[in-house]
A = this chain, B = another copy of it.
Amino acid sequence: MNFLEERILRDATVCPGDILNVNAFLHHQIDMKLIDQIAQEMYGRFRDKPINKILTIEVSGISIACAVARLFNVPLVYAKKTRTKYQPKDVYEAEVLSFRHKNINTIVVGKEYLTSDDHVLIVDDIMADGYALQGLISIVEDAEASVEGCAIAIEKGFQEGGDRIRNLGYTVESLVTIDGMEPHSGTIVFRPE
């Protein structure tokens, strides 16, 4: 059992609707030692790739993506869900269905922050249906940049996002894959590494 699986068993809770509540260490309160451990593991898996940019999506991906960007010593760009007055006018955008919030967001990245010279590692905290990840991939493709891979902390392996994106030919590395969760008993079943 790896460090993140241990932490999930200790401090996460399973809520109805296939929700894994990680508010205690990742989504509301953040344990930076854990974040740095996650980032180190992601760095180890992709350090041989020519990565010059990290891409994530607000909000909960930012803490991990910052720590990964520090290790690669490259800029981090985060896709925005809301368009405000002073955001870039020229953007790449994608429609993303949120599993957690049950709504559709248009996510945007300013064109000046993603170009055809970029070799991008996409980082996110949790992958369920994979729509956020797929939106980020489509933005990288629109920019004619290269997707060097996707690093995910927690993949819900019983939902179909991971399989769908791997079948498209992308490298997706998850530190933890959950094969099943049960809210009444609180049981969480991890896929063996």
Known: A19-B85, A59-B62. A30 touches B110 (CB 8 A): no
Q: How many copies of the shown chain assemble into the complex?
A: 2
Given contacts A84-B100, A86-B21, A86-B100, contact A78 B35 (CB under 8 A): no
**Chain B min CB distance to A42 (Å):** 15
A189 close to B (CB within 8 Å): no
A69 to chain B, nearest CB (A): 5
Inter-chain contact B87/A29, CB cutoff 8 Å: no
Q: Which residue of B24, B30, B59, B110 contacts A76 across the interface (Cβ within 8 Å)?
A: B30
Taking a contact as CB atoms closer than 8 A, the residue among B29, B59, B76, B84 that contacts A29 in the complex is B76
Which range contains the number of A residues in contact with the other chain?
A: 35 or more
* A residues apposed to B, CB below 8 Å: 15, 17, 19, 21, 23-24, 28-33, 35-36, 58-59, 62-63, 66-67, 69-70, 73, 75-78, 80, 82, 84-88, 100-101, 109-110, 112-113
